[in-house]
Structure 1
């Protein structure tokens, strides 16, 4: 198995493992995480996925996202990938979990049990160019306008969970 993902049931409980690409071809439910970093001005740090990603290349999305490795605590995986993708560290808090299913035009299927984390940092990212094409900080009002005007520029999972992330963020600050 090249790179594996953790297969879970609808409650997020471990069932087994599978090769990442096999899971995305077959649509097996697997564990994932999404990280949202805000700065002290309340702007959200977005990344534009590298153009050659296996799906959603070039689309804008949350600060970072990936899958934990077998035996890795999801919280630790989120911190690891934040460093690997965006070259930054931040104190993270898990906000919620949700499941989503999306089939892409290239035949790959996202069927993920996603753990959503949030942090606040003014550290400037140093993105890994193999993972990230670009990044930007954006005011949430401007982001909501862009999502209405140009929804196809954003990843499916980002559009699904953003509203709940923002509701939680505004309760915390």
Structure 2
């Protein structure tokens, strides 16, 4: 779904066409915490179209035509990580990043959060690995090794953590 700067739908375009042209489009990111307050990270599969092998939030993707962003977030959480749980939309933000392979992320990203102790069953086509991490250690790793993480994750993590600590 192509969107304007306020996130309003203005048209449709194939996901890869949007990534090749750098057209602003709708996306979502899901952050799942366990009952210990650890964040579930995934390492993107090595053969993903961009950011392969990088660590990021629990899952992310794009809604299908006619699919609500909330429904898409639930669907992809199940497809990528094998988890079903309640999700709450926290906020939206826009970002743009150009990758070395010529693809461009120009996304209006809806950020969701959930809490679950369900054991992930990751889809190997999407996920190379996963881990739970204490947020203090994660923030330290981001300072020490920022190139191991996706661009969008580094942009929105601080705001996610602020909102998480207000909720729990």
Q: TM-score range by the shorter chain?
A: over 0.9
1:171 aligns with 2:166: yes
Could you tell me which residue of structure 2 aligns to residue 132 of structure 1? 127
Using the TM superposition, name which of 60-69 and 11-20 deviates more: 11-20
Computed over aligned residues only, the root mean square deviation of the Cα atoms, in angstroms, reads 0.4
Equivalent in 28, 31, 35 of residue 30 of structure 2: 35
Q: How does 1:6-85 map to 2 (within 5 A)?
A: 6-85=1-80
Write the deviation string for residues 115-144 of structure 1: whole angstroms up to 9, x where unpaired.
000000000100000000000000000000
SS in 2 for 1:25: helix
Q: How does 1:80-159 map to 2 (within 5 A)?
A: 80-159=75-154
Write the deviation string for residues 99-127 of structure 1: whole angstroms up to 9, x where unpaired.
00000011100000000000000001000
Give the TM-score normalised by structure 2: 0.99
CA distance in 2, matches of 1:60, 1:134: 9
In the alignment of these two chains, the number of paired residues is: 168
Give the TM-score normalised by structure 1: 0.97
Segments of 4+ moved more than 4 angstroms = none
CA distance in 2, matches of 1:61, 1:90: 19
Q: How much has 1:21 moved relative to structure 2?
A: 1.0
CA distance in 2, matches of 1:51, 1:98: 26
Q: How much has 1:19 moved relative to structure 2?
A: 1.4
Write the deviation string for residues 19-41 of structure 1: whole angstroms up to 9, x where unpaired.
11111010000000000000000
